[in-house]
Amino acid sequence: MSVRHALLALLSEGPKYGLQLRQEFEATTADVWPLNIGQVYTTLQRLERDGLVESDGSSGEGSQNIFRITPPGEQELTRWLHAPTDMTPPPRDELVIKILSALRVPGVDVQDVVQAHRRYVVELMQQWTHLKEDDTDFDLSFALVVDAELSRLDSLVRWLDSASSRLKRASVEPPVQSPGPRLRRRVVVRR
Amino acid sequence: MSLLELRKVTKRYGEGATEVLAVQDVDLTVEGGQLVAVMGPSGSGKSTLLSIAGTLEEPTSGEINIGGAPVSAMSQNEKARLRRRSIGYVFQDFNLLGGLTAAENVSLPLELDGTPAKKARAGAMMALQSLDIAERASHYPDELSGGERQRVAIARAIVGDRRLLLADEPSGALDSLNGDAVMRLILAACKRGVAAVVVTHDAQLASWADKVVFIRDGRVVDQTVPPPSPESLLAQPPARR
């Protein structure tokens, strides 16, 4: 999560105090990601050092300073918004590692391991869904955050489902031994 | 009292080498007001289970009670009456009759059950109103959007005094927001005391349920426990502005 760029986005609306930025950041992210005021000022100081924001600095103490975005700050914000978030290499996902590890452990039913995680994720999804049950009391930021979390959890269930199907198929049809050397495929990412 | 109770239900197709156990020893109880999702992959037996719960298919063994009455003791006529009066079905592809208007589709189950046409029509309009689609009552299915057709299908499933709603992949090919809308409607019916069972492979749909039952190879393998307060998800309670 880029607090730095989120603060630039809030400052693009006009000059603001540090405390106000914290409140608006939390409101924008529907209070799902609380932000420490110290983190706000440290980030603002770095942004100022890099010339992306400026403050009037009149009162000396950060809490009374008004911050405004500079033209280089606006350029940086636009660049960040349009730059795809780097998702390579794949994150080292503990769930995936756990299922892969379960395959190696004698006496463990991997389907049971898959199911334990599937149930947990669906239970989490029930809680998130409960939050959006009453859509009359539902603001846009909050709806987007809940949708994002439900989509993320849903993708885990889908992966667990496909893992379950693959495991079932593999238990019926043992893997065929490849005659030649194993082809190692690498994911090459063009920068 | 449980509105739906399945005890040790088994369904076997074929014999000998071709025998397939579609459903094995399934126990399932659904109370009035409760929404239960049955989740499993294709071929796991969930649709067969729903057909058995809706008395559309007979189990090979086991017992089914609907509204406290054992289905095994009912004649074919009594079962047909139960289906017309007490059970509503929602299918993936809506199954609306193309030659009938929305209102006629919804009033049909009442008319088949002997309700006079005028009264059936009034009941249909009430159901359509409860789903905010009364203004489309005189339109034919091909004049309605996918979301509207599904609303009509749900109206047909809850029209009259149906207490048990059975839905098979009820969001069909709808997008996730329309899928949410479908589940909200089913949940609203549950709040009025209807017991609902939704079978799906979709975790986002299933997550609307009070309880999710997982089925694999015809057997119930697991179920969710009632979730704690959703506020526990968040570092602090969500702002409601």
Residue B48 lies in domain: 2-233
CATH of the domain at B100: 3.40.50.300
Give domain status of residue B240, yes or no. Answer: no
Nearest to B212 among A34, A122, A147 (CB): A122
CB of B190 less than 8 A from some CB of A: no
Sequence-ordered list of residues with C-beta below 8 angstroms from that of B222, at least 6 positions apart, any chain: A115, A118, A119, B213, B214
Give the minimum alpha-carbon distance from B236 to chain A in angstroms, rounded to a whole number: 7
Residue-wise pLDDT for B16-60, tens only, equals 889 999 999 999 999 999 999 999 988 899 999 999 999 999 999
Q: Does domain A3-82 have CATH number 1.10.10.10?
A: yes
Alpha helices in B192-224 (DSSP H): 203-206
Residue A159, pLDDT > 90, answer: yes
Predicted confidence at residue A191, as pLDDT, reads 44
Tokens of A165: 């199907």
First-residue to last-residue Cα distance in chain B = 40
Tell me whether residue B126 is exposed, middle or buried, using C-beta atoms within 10 angstroms of its C-beta: 0 to 12, 13 to 18, 19 or more. Answer: middle
Judged by CB atoms closer than 8 Å, whether chains meet at A142 and B184 is answered as no
- Please enumerate, as own/partner, the contacts of B27-31 that have beta carbons within 8 Å and a separation of 24 or more: B27/B220, B28/B4, B28/B53, B28/B197, B28/B213, B28/B220, B29/B2, B29/B4, B29/B5, B30/B2, B30/B3, B30/B4, B30/B5, B30/B164, B30/B195, B30/B196, B30/B197, B31/B1, B31/B2, B31/B3, B31/B195
Select the residue from B35, B204, B229, B232 to test the A interface by mutation, using most A Cβ atoms within 10 A: B204
What's the whole-number average pLDDT of chain B?
A: 89
Q: Cβ distance A126 to B233 under 8 Å?
A: no
Residue B213, pLDDT > 90, answer: yes
Enumerate the residues of chain B whose CB falls inside 8 A of the CB of residue A31. 234-239
Nearest to B224 among A32, A126, A161 (CB): A126
Residue-wise pLDDT for B144-160, tens only, equals 998 899 889 989 998 88
Query: Cα-flanking dihedrals φ and ψ of residue B50, to 5°?
Result: -65, -40
Neighbours of B201 (CB within 10 A): 16
Nearest to A115 among B176, B204, B214 (CB): B214
Judged by CB atoms closer than 8 Å, whether chains meet at B203 and A157 is answered as yes
Enumerate the residues of chain B whose CB falls inside 8 A of the CB of residue A132. 180
Predicted confidence at residue A9, as pLDDT, reads 93
Measured distance CA(B75)–CA(B86) in Å, rounded: 16
Cross-strand bridge partners of residue B39: B200, B214
Cross-strand bridge partners of residue A67: A16, A55
Predicted confidence at residue B233, as pLDDT, reads 67
Q: Cβ distance A21 to A15 under 8 Å?
A: no
Q: Which helix (H) or strand (E) element contains residue B190?
A: helix B176-191
Select the residue from B39, B215, B234 to test the A interface by mutation, using most A Cβ atoms within 10 A: B234
Q: Which helix (H) or strand (E) element contains residue B191?
A: helix B176-191
Sequence-ordered list of residues with C-beta below 8 angstroms from that of A92, at least 6 positions apart, any chain: none
Angle among Cα A106, A109, A114 to the nearest 5 degrees reads: 130
What pTM was estimated for this model as a whole? 0.82
Residue-wise pLDDT for B67-108, tens only, equals 999 999 999 999 999 998 899 998 887 789 999 999 999 999
Predicted confidence at residue A85, as pLDDT, reads 84
Give domain status of residue B238, yes or no. Answer: no
Give one DSSP letter per residue of B77-123, joined into a string: HHHHHHHHHHEEEE-TT----TTS-HHHHHHHHHHHTT--HHHHHHH
Sequence-ordered list of residues with C-beta below 8 angstroms from that of B68, at least 6 positions apart, any chain: B1, B2
Residue-wise pLDDT for A123-144, tens only, equals 999 999 988 886 666 678 888 8
Q: Over pLDDT 70: what percentage of chain B?
A: 94
The reply to whether ipTM tops 0.90 is no
Confidence of residue B225 (pLDDT cuts 50, 70, 90): confident
Measured distance CA(A60)–CA(A58) in Å, rounded: 6
Select the residue from A122, A147, A150, A167 to test the B interface by mutation, using most B Cβ atoms within 10 A: A122
Map out the domains of chain A as residue ranges: 3-82, 94-172
Residue-wise pLDDT for A32-42, tens only, equals 788 889 999 99
Give one DSSP letter per residue of A135-184, joined into a string: GGG--HHHHHHHHHHHHHHHHHHHHHHHHHHHHHHHHHSPPPPPSSPPPP
Residue-wise pLDDT for A6-15, tens only, equals 999 999 999 9
Neighbours of A180 (CB within 10 A): 5
Sequence-ordered list of residues with C-beta below 8 angstroms from that of B203, at least 6 positions apart, any chain: A121, A122, A125, A153, A154, A157, A158, B39
Q: Cβ distance A40 to A21 under 8 Å?
A: yes
Give domain status of residue B127, yes or no. Answer: yes
Nearest to A31 among B201, B204, B234 (CB): B234
